Homo-oligomer: A and B are copies of this chain.
Amino acid sequence: MANSKYEYVRHFELADSLLPSTWLVVRIDGRGFHRFSQSHNFQKPNDRRSIELMNRCAIEVMKDIKDIILAYGESDEYSFIIPKTSNLYSRRASKISSTVVSLFASNFVMHWSEYFREDQLLYAPCFDSRTVCYPNDKILRDYLSWRQADCHINNLFNTTFWALVLKGGMTEIEAENKLKGTLSKDKNEILFTQYDINYNNIDAIYRKGSTIIRKKTEVSTISPRSGELITRTKLIPTAVYDDIIGQEFWDAHPELLEEKKKNNNHA
């Protein structure tokens, strides 16, 4: 075969398998999304269309990659959770990372106009991704808590910052200086006394970020044979805006941390 004398170059492709029996988290992050959000006139402090598009992309990724049990998104990032027992792509890091991120990116463009309507997509978005192992359930939950706490901190800051700018008439530099060194309660106070905003009444989608889980959903189809309406229960990836730091969410969804049984002995 003409090709065989070059084929030795395959040996430079080194293995990159991830440790078995650990949670895998694929986190994708928008590259240059500050500029991207400006070019596309994202509303401040949050652009609902952007969040819903991000959620849609995450849902499409989960429809395609069945091993993902949960995804959590905030701002321009999304984390996809793959169980300890999964053998997706033989747990090869680059295969997992790249598949998720490219599906997310292509769906982002694919579904843009459903959310942004007449606002054209001006250039192709870019995301990076990495896959990280977390050895047990507590650390996985701490990872998700880390991201949701990050969402809270950023959203409270942004909400106050843009209130000062958009409603208070401050320049961005003035608003930044005003908020320097303030605590959460100071920002809550500013929002409440100056702008009549009770932060806790703001939509949960902004305060809590979006969590996609596979929800039991009634799906109706018409039988092609009998013409009857058939209703079945399917697991459909669905966004919720819950607190995922506390215990309540995990008690309500015990299947998430349950050990999936496999036909091998991996614990």
Tell whether, in the assembled complex, residue A2 and residue B184 are in contact, meaning their CB atoms are under 8 Å apart.
yes
Chain B residue at smallest Cβ distance from A93: B94
Q: A20 an interface residue at 8 Å Cβ cutoff?
A: yes
What's the number of copies of this chain in the assembled complex?
A: 4
User: Please, which residues of chain B bring their CB within 8 A of the CB of A138?
Assistant: 267
User: Please, which residues of chain B bring their CB within 8 A of the CB of A97?
Assistant: 94, 97-98
Bound-complex Cα distance A94 to B17 (A)? 13
Tell whether, in the assembled complex, residue B101 and residue A133 are in contact, meaning their CB atoms are under 8 Å apart.
no
Count of residues in A whose CB is under 8 Å from the partner chain: 70
User: Please, which residues of chain B bring their CB within 8 A of the CB of A143?
Assistant: 6, 9, 12
User: Please, which residues of chain B bring their CB within 8 A of the CB of A182?
Assistant: none
Q: A166 an interface residue at 8 Å Cβ cutoff?
A: no
User: Please, which residues of chain B bring their CB within 8 A of the CB of A146?
Assistant: 3, 6-7, 9
* CB 8 Å contact bits of A60-78 with B (1 = contact, 0 = none): 1000100000000000000
Chain B residue at smallest Cβ distance from A156: B2
Tell whether, in the assembled complex, residue A124 and residue B3 are in contact, meaning their CB atoms are under 8 Å apart.
no
Tell whether, in the assembled complex, residue B64 and residue A126 are in contact, meaning their CB atoms are under 8 Å apart.
yes
Tell whether, in the assembled complex, residue B28 and residue A20 are in contact, meaning their CB atoms are under 8 Å apart.
no
Q: A153 an interface residue at 8 Å Cβ cutoff?
A: yes
| Binding stretch for chain B, among A45-53, A102-110, A169-177 | A102-110
* CB 8 Å contact bits of A122-148 with B (1 = contact, 0 = none): 011111111111111011001101100
A177 to chain B, nearest CB (A): 20
- Name the 7 nearest CB pairs between A and B, nearest first: A6-B146, A109-B109, A15-B15, A102-B105, A106-B124, A98-B129, A135-B135
A-B contact pairs, 9 of them (CB 8 A): A2-B152, A8-B142, A8-B266, A9-B146, A12-B143, A84-B135, A102-B104, A102-B127, A136-B267
